[in-house]
Amino acid sequence: MFSKTLHISTSPHIRKGVSTDTIMQNVVWAMMPVLIFAVFSFGINALLVIVTAVVSSVLTEHVLCKWSNKESTISDWSAVITGILLGLTLPPIFPLWMTFLGGVFSVAIGKFVFGGLGYNLFNPALVGRAFLQAAFPVAITTWQSAFLEGRFFSISSSVLAFPFAEPKVDSISGATPLSAFKFDHVMTDSSDLALGLISGSTGETSAVIIILGGIYLIARKMMNWRIPVSILSTVFVLSGILYLIDDTIYPSPLFMLFSGGLMLGAVFMATDMVGSPITPLGVVIYGFFIGLLVVVIRVWGGLPEGVMYAILLGNALTPQIDNFIRPRVYGTKKTKS
Amino acid sequence: MSPELKNIALKDAPSSTDEFIKGLWRENPVFVQVIGMCPVLAVSNSAENALAMGLATAFVLVMSNVLISSLRNFIPKQVRIATYILIIATFVTMVDYAIQAISVDLHKSLGAFISLIVVNCMILSRAEAFASKNTVSKSAIDGLGMGFGFVFALFCLGSVREILGNGSIFGFPIFPESYQEWIIMILPAGGFFTLAFWLLIFNHYKLKKAKS
């Protein structure tokens, strides 16, 4: 018989004490500067939107777990991340009742119906945002200008719209750089874009701060650096080629990189461990596909911004990529998949 | 074996009310059999469209069931599907012209889906599975049950989609002016969500019943 001191087990034998909730907590820490900057530039409206998104996501997760007689999984922090990401992708003066609905939809339809964390096909926050975009196209494209006077004290009446009622926009609304480019052909200065001195969704404005968060996660090896690098370089190269062909019609590559939700999407959403491929080559293909779609939608599509749809389609492609890029098992012949 | 299947397997001579209820509830074509999904998802964007589509389909179903059942001993087995399609198409043409005569607007909003009743798999499946093997009266009752089950299901979808997506029912606004419409509900995606929602409710109810 085996002695009690001798353990027989399969590899891996040396483990690092990193669990799902440690990684999730670190992602939350990495997003903190983005959150703080969002509140700094858009004031109390942005804070309310993000808090509502987080509360509704966590609440939905808890209630659904209780309903299905499971142990509540809110302590793994994934619902918090879904909520924060959803809040960061919404306009700062988005009505709270719609935000709440988006959080419920994200967790219930985006994650829970597939079986919870680890089984979801798509990034839940983006599922929620796609729903809101299709349901309330006007409200989700009404933006607030950044750095308004008194933004820390006055709450927009649009944010406090009565549930199921149409929001009334009172504050000065500003076009995002992408819609300004798409519809009026106005270019925004690249340094403004990088620093985030522009209007847009709560969390997408400052590229520099988002990159800092990404570097933190990469340094802690909690994020696959190939994903943001391949997405961003694809966008840069493709839009660079277009810009060289005709710089009067096509935007400059720097503008493409720093505007809209590309940074936020590439760093925090496309890198979702559940929805992205496993192998390094697969990840690069995934990133290239997303980058290609972003350029195609932005340049030729009807919408000013396409990062959300690009990432969702990338998520949809992930199982196929994993299937085609399956590495050969050592000692066996290559099988046809 | 689920209680439903056992019930079907064991029954010898089901009563006519049983045949009717079967289609309306226990074997509802949309919520239980999940067939004929194309019109269910496509034209259930308002209660009016849904009801008109449902009634048109129900009419074709009853009439074709009756005719196919009465001709069941004359139709050669080899060409039965072609014959069924021909019979169904005859009634669909009648419905098409009738709707055009009643309301051109309705005809426009239903569009190609009226002609597509011909290939609605629910009608063909009732012809093949029921009308070709049962008496005329039974087939008529089966057609009525299934037809009204279809109307009921379409109305469930159409009313939810119209209330949320347009704030009205049968074109009458039921919310105050400030109501914010959920545009997604009248888009195709809303059809899938609403169908999934109703299926969830039905299956939940069925499971609960099976447990008790």
pLDDT at B148: 93
Under a CB-based contact definition with an 8 Å cutoff, are residues B150 and B57 in contact? yes
Tell me the shortest Cα–Cα distance from A134 to chain B, in angstroms. Answer: 5
State the DSSP H helix or E strand holding residue B41, giving kind and residue range, or none if neither.
Answer: helix B37-42
- Give the closest of A109, A134, A165 to B180, CB-based: A165
Under a CB-based contact definition with an 8 Å cutoff, are residues B128 and B38 in contact? no
Q: Give dist(CA A314, CA A291) in Å, integer.
A: 10
Q: How far apart are the first and last CA of chain B?
A: 16
Domain layout of chain B by residue ranges: 44-204
pLDDT at B13: 58
Q: Give dist(CA A295, CA A3) in Å, integer.
A: 62
Read off the pLDDT band of B1 (50, 70, 90). very low
Decide if B178 and A135 are in contact by the 8 Å CB cutoff.
no
pLDDT at B158: 93
The helix/strand/coil state of B179 is strand
pLDDT at A155: 80
A12 preceded by cis ω (within 30°)?
A: yes
Which one is predicted more confidently, A201 or B136?
Answer: B136
Amino acid, res. B63:
M
Q: Which of A148-152, B14-18, B39-43, B49-53 has the highest mean pLDDT?
A: B49-53
Residue with tokens 């270019």: A187
Question: Long-range contacts for B1-9 (Cβ within 8 Å, ≥24 apart)?
Answer: B2/B210, B3/B210
Task: Give contacts of A164 with chain B, Cβ < 8 Å.
Answer: 175, 179-180
Decide if B180 and A162 are in contact by the 8 Å CB cutoff.
no
For chain B, what percent of residues have pLDDT higher than 70?
93
Read off the pLDDT band of B150 (50, 70, 90). very high
Residue with tokens 């990401």: A85
DSSP one-letter string for A226-256: HHHHHHHHHHHHHHHHHHHH-TTTSPPHHHH
Query: What radius of gyration, in Å, describes the C-alpha atoms of chain A?
Result: 21
Identify the segments of chain A with pLDDT beneath 70: 1-4, 170-174, 334-337
Q: How many CB pairs below 8 Å do chains A and B form together? A: 29
Is residue B71's pLDDT more than 70?
yes
pLDDT tens for A264-304 read 999 999 998 888 898 899 999 999 999 999 999 988 887 87
pLDDT at B141: 92
Is residue B56's pLDDT more than 90?
yes
pLDDT at A248: 81
Query: What radius of gyration, in Å, describes the C-alpha atoms of chain B?
Result: 18
Q: How far apart are the first and last CA of chain A?
A: 44
Strands B172-173 and B168-169 turn out to be: antiparallel
Q: Give dist(CA B76, CA B74) in Å, integer.
A: 6
Question: Long-range contacts for B76-81 (Cβ within 8 Å, ≥24 apart)?
Answer: B80/B128, B80/B132, B81/B124, B81/B128
**Which residues lie closer than 8 Å to A295 by C-beta, 6 or more apart?**
A234, A235, A238, A239, A242, A256
Read off the pLDDT band of B98 (50, 70, 90). very high
Decide if A134 and B189 are in contact by the 8 Å CB cutoff.
yes
Q: Give dist(CA A94, CA B68) in Å, integer.
A: 58
Decide if A166 and B179 are in contact by the 8 Å CB cutoff.
yes
Q: Please state, as a whole number, how many other Cβ atoms lie within 10 Å of the Cβ of residue B169.
A: 16
The helix/strand/coil state of A275 is coil
Residues of A with CB under 8 A from a CB of B: 98, 109, 131, 134-137, 139, 161-162, 164-167
Under a CB-based contact definition with an 8 Å cutoff, are residues A40 and A146 in contact? no
pLDDT at A171: 57
Q: Give dist(CA A274, CA A248) in Å, integer.
A: 40
Architecture of domain A20-324: Orthogonal Bundle (1.10)
Tell me the shortest Cα–Cα distance from B25 to chain A, in angstroms. Answer: 26
pLDDT at B3: 56
Q: Give dist(CA B196, CA B189) in Å, integer.
A: 11
pLDDT tens for A56-108 read 999 999 999 998 888 888 888 889 999 999 999 999 889 999 999 999 999 99
Best residue in B174, B177, B180 to probe A by mutation, most A CBs within 10 Å?
Answer: B180
Residue with tokens 């019109």: B39
Which one is predicted more confidently, A223 or B5?
Answer: A223
